[in-house]
Structure 1
């Protein structure tokens, strides 16, 4: 007996919606949308209508006293981190990082990519006012922007390279969030943090027990998000943890189902909206001029662009050299070098730490933005070169 869908084909609007969702599952499309949103925000924020942009970004529409920007950074970005957590879980269980030595490589690279920039910052800014507060600024990598640049410029490179960057950036962001919680949180509420841990445990136990109702896990995820926010820790941690705890067993598995439905939303809405509200940084001639004569600002730029490269690439090379990690056979050290430069896109996470270390300081904001643009441009050039070399070798 023919099904109803065969007798009455999908309406055009439904068919187009499915086609758009399918297109957004290809990261190149989502990356282009995010970069367009970024460019539009920068233009608007530095135009004669900058007050309109700032009024929209700072509007407070709902609970928790969050502005639209804060909702995008704490709420929408949680969905992105959840999808990233799902993908990391897949890579560790069935993908490029399922072997221990393969998994160690990006983790060691991420840790070294935090330590080396911090040390380089301290060495350059030593003796300057605020050096004890600013060391954490260049430790971060903006995972959304880094993945977008990789998707737009080098989508044909091996999947192992994306897995390396994704895991590196997730570990990096967890480290940066830990730094914020330990060094820049006025009051850490342990009761809320413990309660969030209990919710995560229930989430994991229900996954193990075979419960498959999406509503149950949505409620648990929202509860974990609220408790994480109340604890003083950045709420996006709830997204990463829930993604890592989601089961990859079954066909399709809960992780695959969640990824199928949420990836288009993350790529087509959550990340572009976050980029729009985060990237609108007003740039003044005074701020641009002061950046290049201020030791702390100079230290931020050098530590992000050079320190990140030295830390990530050096950590990866050293771990392979010492024998406790290995590089994928699909990758070349030149691929790792390009992604190491890409890790210098600190952008939103660095801006967040910078605002906590130096509230309202335009020098730090401008320095982070300049460093992130330079790292993006250098990495894009290196990745495009790798794509051309690969295409030539494949002929």
Structure 2
């Protein structure tokens, strides 16, 4: 049976969900519902729903709905991220050293500078020893959605740069989650996870396509990693990185492409929005907003996302272009690069996840304040970036009208 026949034609709804614009809109709606619900007279119902426990206690999987959203649904999101990362590393924008230099340098700058600023602003605050990791993340779906909405007039190189940057940033966030938020490691469970992942890799190399084999293997891998004390989303990344991305001569698409094609609508339309529904419901009244601007930890998060991301991404890009073979993306000036760099401050989904993990041992009020800081900083970064992108789009459009036959210079 050919690969073309194995992949069912995508429905119009699935195709629609694959666009960054719609994914961003669904995410915004879920966030708005969470915020309105958590600040309404029915806030108690919202909190009670988050704390409902389901799952088999014998397997240590009697988790709350909020934990299932963070550990289970986000594992699918990170599996899609792992597929994208593997594809970029093997055949995409990160497949050669020269291609990878600029986005990787930008991602490193966009992690180190925000973390440093967060530590500087929030030094000595309770929980800051791990909360510095909150502003290192960039929400790839949300950032690409803002770019699609406000930056459509910019050269295509803007999306390529942002995608490479976000993928490299996601890899860094994955490393942070795996290293910082793993505790009490269980060697036996890790061995089970390694064996299951090894079997997945072997089946991939044997060109086995039976989904009824892969689904149980994925579930065993996820359960074992969860039991081992490592955050369960790492299972999604691991299996994504083990998936084959180069098609055989008789294949129309590689397994990674087929899986991404099928799972991306579920990730964008269900997994990430449901996580946002459970994670983004924080108080935003006058008292909560006062704590955001007076609590050192939350101020560190805001400064890290709004200022640290811009300075880190733009500064690291400039440095990489000056001292390495990397070059500025074709058609993009430094003001365009600044607008795209501002999008890095949209931490949102991954920053909310890191906030929950980093402050798990702190007071619930501090967790709520940190989440509010993430939401406010991400919203501000999105609005500022959108304004900058619209302005740069007008400049590019005017330049194209003035010299219609001459491509925009880099």
- TM-score band by shorter chain is 0.7 to 0.9
Q: Could you tell me how far apart the structure 1 residues matched to 2:335 and 2:209 are?
A: 43
Q: Could you tell me how far apart the structure 1 residues matched to 2:101 and 2:200 are?
A: 27
Compute the displacement of 1:53 (Å). 2.0
Compute the displacement of 1:186 (Å). 3.7
Q: Could you tell me how far apart the structure 2 residues matched to 1:181 and 1:240 are?
A: 11
User: Against the structure 1 CA distance between its residues 372 and 27, is the aligned structure 2 distance closer, same or farther, given a 3 Å change threshold?
Assistant: closer
User: Against the structure 1 CA distance between its residues 226 and 330, is the aligned structure 2 distance closer, same or farther, given a 3 Å change threshold?
Assistant: farther
1:392 and 2:398 matched? yes
Report the RMSD for the aligned CA atoms in angstroms.
2.7
1:259 aligns with 260
1:46 and 2:39 matched? yes
Superposed, which structure 2 residues align to 1:1-395 within 5 Å? 18-63=11-56, 64-128=61-125, 130-154=127-151, 157-158=154-155, 160-250=157-247, 251-347=252-348, 348-356=352-360, 358-360=362-364, 361=366, 362-395=368-401
Q: Which runs of 5+ in 2 are unaligned?
A: 1-7, 402-410
Compute the displacement of 1:22 (Å). 1.9
Q: Could you tell me how far apart the structure 2 residues matched to 1:65 and 1:290 are?
A: 33
Secondary structure of 2:111's counterpart equals helix
Q: Could you tell me how far apart the structure 2 residues matched to 1:201 and 1:328 are?
A: 38
Q: Could you tell me how far apart the structure 2 residues matched to 1:206 and 1:276 are?
A: 36
User: Against the structure 1 CA distance between its residues 113 and 247, is the aligned structure 2 distance closer, same or farther, given a 3 Å change threshold?
Assistant: same
- Bigger shift: residues 77-86 or 188-197: 188-197
Compute the displacement of 1:353 (Å). 4.1
Tell me if structure 2 keeps the 8 A contact 1:136–1:353.
no
Give the number of equivalent residue pairs: 381
User: Against the structure 1 CA distance between its residues 200 and 325, is the aligned structure 2 distance closer, same or farther, given a 3 Å change threshold?
Assistant: farther
Q: TM-score, normalised by structure 1?
A: 0.86
User: Against the structure 1 CA distance between its residues 89 and 316, is the aligned structure 2 distance closer, same or farther, given a 3 Å change threshold?
Assistant: same
Q: Could you tell me how far apart the structure 1 residues matched to 2:178 and 2:308 are?
A: 23
Q: Could you tell me how far apart the structure 2 residues matched to 1:32 and 1:368 are?
A: 18
Q: TM-score, normalised by structure 2?
A: 0.83
Q: Could you tell me how far apart the structure 1 residues matched to 2:190 and 2:264 are?
A: 28
Compute the displacement of 1:203 (Å). 2.0
- List per-residue Cα deviations over 1:146-166 (Å, max 9, x = no partner): 333334433565554444434
Compute the displacement of 1:254 (Å). 0.9
Compute the displacement of 1:306 (Å). 0.7
Tell me if structure 1 keeps the 8 A contact 2:23–2:141.
no
Compute the displacement of 1:330 (Å). 4.9
Secondary structure of 2:11's counterpart equals helix
Q: Could you tell me how far apart the structure 2 residues matched to 1:102 and 1:153 are?
A: 26
Compute the displacement of 1:390 (Å). 3.5
Compute the displacement of 1:369 (Å). 2.5
Q: Which runs of 5+ in 1 are unaligned?
A: 1-13
Tell me if structure 2 keeps the 8 A contact 1:141–1:350.
no
Compute the displacement of 1:274 (Å). 1.9
